Structure 1
Amino acid sequence: MEDASAAAIIDARGTVTGWSEGARRLTGYPADEAVGRSVRELLAEDVPPEAVSARSGTVMVRHHDGYLIGLRVRACAVTGPDAAPHGFVITAEPPGSAETSLAGKAFQQASMSMSVFDTDQRYLRLNDAACHVMGVPEETLLGRHFPETVEEAEHSQGFNWHLRHVVETGRPLRYESYTGAPALNREHAWVTEMWPVRDHSGELLGTALAAFDSTEQYWARQRLALLNEAAAAIGTTLDVVRTAEELIGVVVPRFADFASVDLFDWVLGAEESPTVPTDEIVLRRVAHGSVTEGTPEAAVHLGEVDAYPAFSPIARAMREGRAIVSQAGEPSFMRWVAERNTRSPQGSPYRQGAHSMMAVPLRARGTTLGVAVAVRIRKPDDYAADDAVFAEELASRAAVCVDNARRFARERTTALALQHSLLPRGLPGQAAVQVAHRYLPSGSAAGIGGDWFDVIPLSGSRVALVVGDVVGHGIPSTATMGRLVTAVRTLADVDLPPDELLTHLDDLVTHLASDEDGDEVAELGATCLYAVYDPVTRRLNLAAAGHPAPALVLPDGSARLIPMSAGPPLGVGGLPFEATELQLPEGSVVALYTDGLIEDRDRDVDHATDELCRALTVPADSLDALCDTVLKAVLPEEPGDDVALLLARTRALGADQVATWDVMPDPAQVAATRQAATEQLTAWGLDETAFVTELVVSELVTNAIRYGAAPIQLRLIRDQTLICEVSDGSSTSPHLRRAHQDDEGGRGLLLVAQLTQRWGSRQTTRGKTIWCEQPLTPLF
């Protein structure tokens, strides 16, 4: 075996006097061309002859063919008999020769990439790891400038800049990058330490570097950052589809080139969750995204239903409850890709580069909601075990957000259905006011509130207008609202004045709040506005419990708020409510509303109230059109609370529709009063009601004279029904009872109740009024 080492002899003047065969093989110069030449002609660096003795380690030699090679050399001085230096014996080892020193072996075998450069960024030394990264042996790189060994790219320019910076400043630096390498098929993350190399005198000889491949750590940080980003980006709304879209936005393009989310149909509705089928699984596509515009990879359109066979990774992931990773070349992957390609509307996108996919079940609170699929097409890395762990964590967070949105939608649907069942579907017919209404449920994450309105016909052609609000959201507020609606209707049937009705309602709310099984209304809070309009007197009597005052639009077009005391909210207890009464011209519009119409965090209430008054004066073809105008002008784009709006245009009953007689407290007056009533019915063209009316008038007037007190008054009102009212000064209310066979009386009210459509009594400021109604068509 030939000796691979090379040797040369140099005299004191720097002239080559001896040249070995190994030197010829190493440099390409035969002995006859090397001997007699100055050593400076063979070196790549312009080094004075006297400096040769200081050279040890690695020097750059120019090969006979013109390129540079780095040689590890040793110089040994040669002296004569007089001890004077006669020259040097130089030995050199070719690049890649075996290291003999422990330090050299440690450098050569280091697991990280290590290189040494001169001050001009030329390679002087590389270890095995560096050669692997560069993809060429060491002798190919030695002596060459770094920019010559790599492609012209931004990352290579940055690397070269840092090398020069170490030479210029003489200080070490740390350099992190995410780039490719000549011999690697994908980009890697690198942490590179660069430092200056000096001799014993401190003179800078070159630079050295050690590059650590931190790709795994880099991707671990990226995955953690993506999880943190997902925590803020997913679940910003309580909408199932929007939440799925947010998941796609996080995954594409940083983790996948294509991703999709498919859910069970019941997740999008209000049904309870079924079990996951063991064979074919049917899902609905709710979101997908791609790095390619138009998402050509999607074989299923948004909103469409697709069936996933049992062998598919999607079905397996949902059955096994874990992420399923498939790679190109695996039978299950290829079978799945072939099935997708036959259905793809854009050709065969999966076959055109898809090499790795992952299916992750969306599970929350022990229930499987659907599946998320991620596919890599452009990204060179296949999905690995760490990616599966990350995807499961991301999917679990997204699934909780989807389930929260599903539960919110179900509760919202339930609350909305309950609220609609409690609100009046069709307002009752009455002649006192013309009404129009709007109810807009809240679209915020807080859920449906407890706003309500009602129109309640009262005796004497009067009507009660009600709006209320239970502070809070969700089914508890709606249920509480239902209780209050029922209570108001019950109290209205007793025909109490507005302030007294609110007092009784306040007592009820206080009782509910103190009940162990109650809805804690006191903590939620509730408000109510109750108004009674009388079309005969054209007076509006109203009182409020912590509720905004209604707006009034007069026939001349002017609009203002009705001045009144708001009173305490319901449930406070112990504080009085103050009633307000005012006369209204016919054709006035009263606007009752809940605070959601004018109150918002970013709005000034006074400004919103002014906008409401201006909107109410805008000409409109109908009250319904005026409702829409008001909502469009006053309501914010995204109201944060429910809104109830009730508009009522007043009507009036003229003198030709009302007849009144004062009755003296004398039994002899009964016949005269009955005769006057009969004549009035004839004048109104209601002779067919005369028989029943005579009996009713006789009984009620007789009872008032016998059991009541002066003053006594009879009033007939011709409205949609014929109303007969008898008032007296006694506050004692009569009671319906069944008389025994031997009783001489007690059958009057029973007779009235049998002959009329409905009857009742109400307290007045001067006593009571007994009333009854009969239809304007004969009962028999």
Structure 2
Amino acid sequence: MDAPAAGHHEPSDPLDTGEAVAVTAPDGVLTGWSAGARRLLGYSAAEAVGRPAADLLASPLPGAALERLAGQAGWAGPVVLRDRGGRSVECSLRARPLATGDGRTGWCLEAVPAQDGETREDGRDTDTLLRWSFDQSPFALAVYDPEGRFLRANPRMEQQLGASERELRGLRITEHMPDPRFQRPEQAVDRVAATGVPEHIENHVRVPGEPYAHAWIVHVDPLKDPAGLVQGVQVAALDFSEQSAARERLALLNEASTRIGSSLDVARTAQELADVAVPVCADFASVDLLDAVLHGDEPAPIPVGAPLMLRRTAIRSHVPGIVEAGDLARYPAFSPLERCLATGRGTVHRITDPEVVRWLSQDTDRADWVNRNRPHSLMAVPLRARGVNLGAALFTRLDPTTPPYTEDDLRIVEELAARAAVCIDNARRYTRERTTTLALQHSLLPQGIPEQAAVEAAGRYLPAGSQAGVGGDWFDVIPLSGARVALVVGDVVGHGLHASAAMGRLRTAVRTLADVDLPPDELLAHLDDLVIRLSTGLETAAEPPTSDLGATCLYAVYDPASRTCSLASAGHPWPALVTPDGTVDFLELPTGPPLGLGGLPFESVDVELPEGSLLALYTDGLIEARGQDIDAGLRALRSALADPAPSLETTCDIVLKALLDGRPADDVALLVARTRALDSRHIVQWDLPADPAVVAEARSRTAAQLHTWDLDELAFVAELVVSELVTNAIRHAAPPIRLRLIKDRTLICEVCDASNTAPHLRRARIFDEGGRGLMLVAQLTERWGTRHAATGKTIWAELPLASAAPVAPTSGTT
């Protein structure tokens, strides 16, 4: 709009609002003058209009004001004017641009005089009270101009900043305090000056007037004139270090309750304590434990007055160069750690305390570290739980801006250590139980795969991670009669000592039933009955029932003579088969119920395997690792078995690495076996008529065959055994009768008949004519026994070869 015409304005004029208002043309000449302006400076409208506005200034405008006015932007700030009598008048001036008709910009100037002091009815000066309020405020107060420069500071602010108001005036915050952490309040002052919106921040810094860093609450508020323009910024800072420390202590204990004790591993729990302490309450923390604790044992009492040996178990530090975790540290009897363990109470020390100086004089490595990093204080607290000393923790402060430790710090750290000690002791107790269970588990597992000709085998057992504990998985390789072999994999439900003990009982039962030469389905049926009896307490009257006992099992019998494998499953995963051409598949078995359910049958399947086939038997912990889908686990197993390997041991390693990531979540048993086939030249058999006269022929055929095999030294004994077994079959059994000789690691003599009646040993009396035959066989052979088939039975005996290593004889099984 057009600038107002020059001249005196009557009270009805729009400029006469009671305020001191003037209008200038674009060239800075006054064109309007209000009555308020006349009252402020004494010039009439006739005297003021036409004069340059700059003539009314008692001092030049600030540079920032000139820059904004040159850019035709509004400005507000303090100025000093000169009235008609030449006196200085302090005012707050606000300049607003006005558009003129010719496209140029004039200015509307509004001046508000500084408030004169008011006097209360009791005669007290209000300004004096306000000044006292500013000077005596418990807050550290400062006032800044719109450019963020110091104008005023009360004595408390001067004390905190370590400078007088005169020294601070005209400086920005970071010009006096270059620490980058002071950029936050400076940026807050700039934002409040620009927006007029108050801000509140928390900052943890060391101000020049304090030796250590404090926690501050800083209120940044705008100072506005009656027109709403920001004329300055006020900062009020309050030290709330005590409240902040209390809040941090509560947060520390809360964090400790969630972070410490996440596992049942002693070393990891100790590391969690060190991690929680740094950097919240220490710059360096170490947790030192007695060696017995790391092994799960009960620590011995600490001798009074003797040096203390502790294992550096966990370290957390912001500085390098300290003894590595795992090292053994010796602490003299007068050292803080030994004292805190002896007394059961924590201690606070300055690094210059005599006992600390004496301790460092005997520990050169630690003394060198102290000289490099210059810590100023430390705390030593014991780790005790349930009346047992476990070790001690050392906390050290290095940062010179942090205060030395106090008794308040010690109380919170003692509570932290007490909570951690319970978790460490729980882990110690679990370690002891786990060690015992693992020892039992390994003693019950095969200590080596026995030598036999049917298969080449390798196995692995991996216990579960610390949270789950040792389980009841097992595998076994059992040599059977007739050069056959049984392959077993089982999984007892549950973890811990109970599962390991149950696994041992089931493995023993399987070996006993296998020695009877039961078919796989019958063996699983007998094993199922045993689990039911154990679950209901019927096995022994004195033993309580174990109602949660359950297991799965896969039992396979491989015959290298016929290359036939007979398998039966009790709720167990199917085995994998790798044929010689590299094809991998899973044998689909009629899976029976898990052991312990009872009432449902088991079924065997016979599979003919090419020589050199690979069978992989495993427990579900292998294919269900880390919670993955079972189909994904089977695909990974198929892929791992498809890769050729130089040995079965390597195959086991490949499978475990491909399917498991570190320690498994559940224990795992894996058994791989490569099948072999007996040389047909080492097997002969003859069908014999049920005629006593054929006994002599059987003996002669046996002698001739042994001569062919270069086993003449066995001919005499073998003829006696064959004669006895064939005679018994003719006298007491039914045809057809078959004699079979197998040259393996031993000489195996087998006589088959169609009778299900099993012979048994008995001691013949003096005048008995019979009863000595089987006793003679038992004495002359290494092993002998009977196995039953669907129709008939086979009586067998094994004679050691002269070139074979001697084997201790065992009792026969009938």
| Counterpart residue number, 2:343 | 320
**What is the CA–CA distance in structure 1 between the aligned matches of 2:714 and 2:149, rounded to whole Å?**
120
Paired residues of 1:258 and 1:376 also in contact (CA < 8 A): yes
Paired residues of 1:337 and 1:351 also in contact (CA < 8 A): no
Return 162-171 or 600-609, whichever deviates more.
162-171
- 2:318 is aligned, of 291, 298, 303, to 291
| Counterpart residue number, 1:722 | 747
| Counterpart residue number, 2:237 | 211
Q: Which amino acid aligns with 1:355?
A: H
Listed one character per residue, the Cα deviations across residues 229-275 of structure 1 (whole Å, up to 9, x for unaligned) are 44444445544334433433333334322222222111222433211
Q: CA RMSD in A?
A: 4.1
Q: Secondary structure at the match of 1:471?
A: strand
Q: Secondary structure at the match of 1:547?
A: coil
Q: Which amino acid aligns with 1:212?
A: L
Listed one character per residue, the Cα deviations across residues 433-488 of structure 1 (whole Å, up to 9, x for unaligned) are 22222333334532333221111111122111111122333322222211111110
| Counterpart residue number, 1:80 | none
Listed as ranges, the gaps of 5+ residues in structure 2 are 1-38, 43-55, 60-77, 91-113, 810-814
1:446 equivalent to 2:468? Answer yes
- 2:517 is aligned, of 495, 498, 503, to 495
**What is the CA–CA distance in structure 2 between the aligned matches of 1:583 and 1:638, rounded to whole Å?**
36
Q: TM-score, normalised by structure 2?
A: 0.77
Deviation at 1:732, TM superposition (A): 2.1
Q: Secondary structure at the match of 1:472?
A: strand
Paired residues of 1:587 and 1:649 also in contact (CA < 8 A): yes
1:251 equivalent to 2:277? Answer yes
| Counterpart residue number, 2:398 | 377
| Counterpart residue number, 1:266 | 292
**What is the CA–CA distance in structure 2 between the aligned matches of 1:585 and 1:548, rounded to whole Å?**
22
1:46 equivalent to 2:80? Answer yes
**What is the CA–CA distance in structure 2 between the aligned matches of 1:658 and 1:163, rounded to whole Å?**
101
1:306 equivalent to 2:329? Answer yes
Q: Secondary structure at the match of 1:570?
A: coil
1:692-707 mapped onto 2 (5 Å cutoff): 692-707=717-732
1:121-132 mapped onto 2 (5 Å cutoff): 128-132=155-159
Paired residues of 2:119 and 2:125 also in contact (CA < 8 A): no
1:240 equivalent to 2:274? Answer no
Paired residues of 1:506 and 1:570 also in contact (CA < 8 A): yes
Q: Which amino acid aligns with 1:240?
A: V
Paired residues of 1:361 and 1:395 also in contact (CA < 8 A): yes
Q: Secondary structure at the match of 1:332?
A: helix
- 2:666 is aligned, of 641, 653, 658, to 641
Deviation at 1:13, TM superposition (A): 11
Return 308-317 or 550-559, whichever deviates more.
550-559
1:72-151 mapped onto 2 (5 Å cutoff): 74=117, 109-114=136-141, 128-135=155-162, 140=166, 147=173, 150-151=176-177
| Counterpart residue number, 1:414 | 436
Paired residues of 1:476 and 1:519 also in contact (CA < 8 A): no
Report the CA distance shift for 1:408/1:205 in structure 2 as closer, same or farther (over 3 A): same
Q: Which amino acid aligns with 1:287?
A: A
Q: Which amino acid aligns with 2:653?
A: D
| Counterpart residue number, 1:506 | 528
- 1:555 is aligned, of 567, 576, 580, to 580
**What is the CA–CA distance in structure 2 between the aligned matches of 1:523 and 1:512, rounded to whole Å?**
10
**What is the CA–CA distance in structure 1 between the aligned matches of 2:280 and 2:414, rounded to whole Å?**
16
Paired residues of 1:721 and 1:773 also in contact (CA < 8 A): yes
Paired residues of 2:310 and 2:328 also in contact (CA < 8 A): yes
Paired residues of 1:257 and 1:379 also in contact (CA < 8 A): no
| Counterpart residue number, 1:188 | 214
Paired residues of 1:72 and 1:92 also in contact (CA < 8 A): no
Report the CA distance shift for 1:760/1:191 in structure 2 as closer, same or farther (over 3 A): same
Return 723-732 or 249-258, whichever deviates more.
249-258
Report the CA distance shift for 1:539/1:51 in structure 2 as closer, same or farther (over 3 A): farther
| Counterpart residue number, 1:426 | 448
Deviation at 1:167, TM superposition (A): 5.9
| Counterpart residue number, 1:21 | none
Deviation at 1:497, TM superposition (A): 0.2
Listed one character per residue, the Cα deviations across residues 553-610 of structure 1 (whole Å, up to 9, x for unaligned) are 3333333222212222111211111100022233322222222332234544344434
- 1:356 is aligned, of 356, 377, 380, to 377
Deviation at 1:429, TM superposition (A): 2.1
| Counterpart residue number, 1:66 | none
**What is the CA–CA distance in structure 1 between the aligned matches of 2:174 and 2:328, rounded to whole Å?**
57
Paired residues of 1:123 and 1:141 also in contact (CA < 8 A): no
Return 237-246 or 275-284, whichever deviates more.
237-246
**What is the CA–CA distance in structure 2 between the aligned matches of 1:534 and 1:698, rounded to whole Å?**
26
Paired residues of 2:308 and 2:333 also in contact (CA < 8 A): yes
Return 554-563 or 423-432, whichever deviates more.
554-563
Q: How many residues align?
A: 709
**What is the CA–CA distance in structure 1 between the aligned matches of 2:659 and 2:544, rounded to whole Å?**
32
Report the CA distance shift for 1:760/1:52 in structure 2 as closer, same or farther (over 3 A): farther
- 2:559 is aligned, of 519, 530, 534, to 534
1:556-571 mapped onto 2 (5 Å cutoff): 556-571=581-596
**What is the CA–CA distance in structure 2 between the aligned matches of 1:371 and 1:268, rounded to whole Å?**
14
| Counterpart residue number, 2:779 | 754
Listed one character per residue, the Cα deviations across residues 630-677 of structure 1 (whole Å, up to 9, x for unaligned) are 444444455333332222222223343233233333434433433433
Paired residues of 2:58 and 2:88 also in contact (CA < 8 A): no
Deviation at 1:108, TM superposition (A): 5.2
Paired residues of 1:260 and 1:287 also in contact (CA < 8 A): yes
Return 467-476 or 403-412, whichever deviates more.
403-412
1:281 equivalent to 2:281? Answer no
Deviation at 1:420, TM superposition (A): 2.0
| Counterpart residue number, 1:178 | 204
1:559-638 mapped onto 2 (5 Å cutoff): 559-601=584-626, 603-636=628-661
Paired residues of 1:739 and 1:745 also in contact (CA < 8 A): yes
Paired residues of 2:212 and 2:400 also in contact (CA < 8 A): no
Listed one character per residue, the Cα deviations across residues 208-230 of structure 1 (whole Å, up to 9, x for unaligned) are 55432111111222333334444
**What is the CA–CA distance in structure 1 between the aligned matches of 2:646 and 2:183, rounded to whole Å?**
74
Paired residues of 1:73 and 1:92 also in contact (CA < 8 A): no
Q: Which amino acid aligns with 1:510?
A: I
Q: Which amino acid aligns with 2:398?
A: I
Paired residues of 2:490 and 2:552 also in contact (CA < 8 A): yes
Report the CA distance shift for 1:210/1:638 in structure 2 as closer, same or farther (over 3 A): same
Q: Secondary structure at the match of 2:495?
A: coil
**What is the CA–CA distance in structure 1 between the aligned matches of 2:223 and 2:85, rounded to whole Å?**
19
Deviation at 1:539, TM superposition (A): 1.3
1:334 equivalent to 2:361? Answer no
Q: Which amino acid aligns with 1:754?
A: Q
Paired residues of 1:527 and 1:570 also in contact (CA < 8 A): yes
- 1:390 is aligned, of 402, 406, 412, to 412
Paired residues of 2:285 and 2:315 also in contact (CA < 8 A): yes
Return 687-696 or 316-325, whichever deviates more.
687-696
**What is the CA–CA distance in structure 2 between the aligned matches of 1:752 and 1:544, rounded to whole Å?**
36
| Counterpart residue number, 1:468 | 490
**What is the CA–CA distance in structure 2 between the aligned matches of 1:121 and 1:676, rounded to whole Å?**
118
| Counterpart residue number, 2:101 | none
Return 386-395 or 195-204, whichever deviates more.
195-204
Deviation at 1:369, TM superposition (A): 1.7
Listed one character per residue, the Cα deviations across residues 50-77 of structure 1 (whole Å, up to 9, x for unaligned) are 9999999xxxxxxxxxxxxxx9985899
Report the CA distance shift for 1:667/1:378 in structure 2 as closer, same or farther (over 3 A): same
Deviation at 1:359, TM superposition (A): 0.9
Paired residues of 1:444 and 1:641 also in contact (CA < 8 A): no
Q: TM-score, normalised by structure 1?
A: 0.80
Q: Which amino acid aligns with 2:80?
A: D
Q: Secondary structure at the match of 1:483?
A: helix
Q: Which amino acid aligns with 1:258?
A: F
Q: Which amino acid aligns with 2:517?
A: D
